[in-house]
């Protein structure tokens, strides 16, 4: 004899909801509390290394969106290219990671930063100076396992979430 239909089902449901009431909620308070994102996060920004870049333009060629624009000049004395302009329109970026994988000199990385919202479309275009690595804009471990090792491990939602007031 099944009792599910005689009110036991309702009682079971009620115990489920009351158990949820008494346990920790599985959310976090975003601006105050932040979870660590994946170490191999493909962020919406790129980080460019000025020293390693040779200005070969491989990244611009592989980009399926054509979001990367690179202009170089020839430095005859040093026998190398000077990168005059390096610009990426992050509004067009699809985070495919092809440019990072294609770079032969390990000069391009994904950013570990995920708060890239802007008020104007024009602000999404990032130039040379904005793309450098800073303490705020860390390098993501995507495609570079040695970089990933240095980043903090990803936190899961259910761990240690308390209400912040």
Residues of this chain that bind other proteins (CB under 8 A): 5-7, 10, 13-14, 16-18, 20-21, 23, 25-27, 29, 163, 165
Residue 4 DSSP code: G
Nearer to other proteins, 5 or 121 (CB): 5
The rounded radius of gyration (Å) of the Cα atoms in the chain is 24
Shortest approach of other proteins to residue 103 CB, angstroms?
Answer: 43
Shortest approach of other proteins to residue 10 CB, angstroms?
Answer: 7
DSSP reduced 3-state for 129: helix
Phi, psi of 27 (to 5 degrees): -130, 165
Nearer to other proteins, 10 or 96 (CB): 10
Shortest approach of other proteins to residue 24 CB, angstroms?
Answer: 8
Spatial separation of the C-alpha atoms in residues 101 and 149, rounded to whole Å: 18
Give the list of residues 6+ apart from residue 98 with CB closer than 8 angstroms, or none: 62, 63, 64
Nearer to other proteins, 5 or 160 (CB): 5
Shortest approach of other proteins to residue 133 CB, angstroms?
Answer: 35
């Amino acid at each position: 004899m099944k009792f599910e239909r005689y009110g036991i089902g309702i009682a079971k449901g009620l115990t489920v909801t009351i158990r949820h009431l008494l346990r920790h909620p599985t959310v976090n308070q975003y601006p105050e509390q932040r979870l660590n994102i994946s170490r191999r996060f493909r962020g919406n920004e790129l980080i460019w290394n000025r020293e390693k870049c040779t200005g070969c333009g491989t990244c611009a060629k592989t980009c399926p969106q054509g979001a990367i624009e690179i202009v170089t000049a020839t430095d005859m004395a040093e026998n190398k290219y000077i990168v005059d302009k390096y610009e990426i329109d992050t509004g067009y970026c699809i985070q495919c990671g092809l440019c990072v994988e294609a770079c032969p000199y390990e000069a391009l990385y994904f950013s570990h930063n995920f708060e890239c919202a802007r008020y104007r479309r024009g602000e999404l275009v990032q130039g040379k100076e904005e793309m450098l690595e800073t303490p705020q804009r860390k390098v993501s471990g995507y495609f570079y396992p040695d970089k990933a090792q240095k980043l903090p491990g990803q936190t899961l939602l259910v761990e240690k979430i308390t209400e912040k007031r």
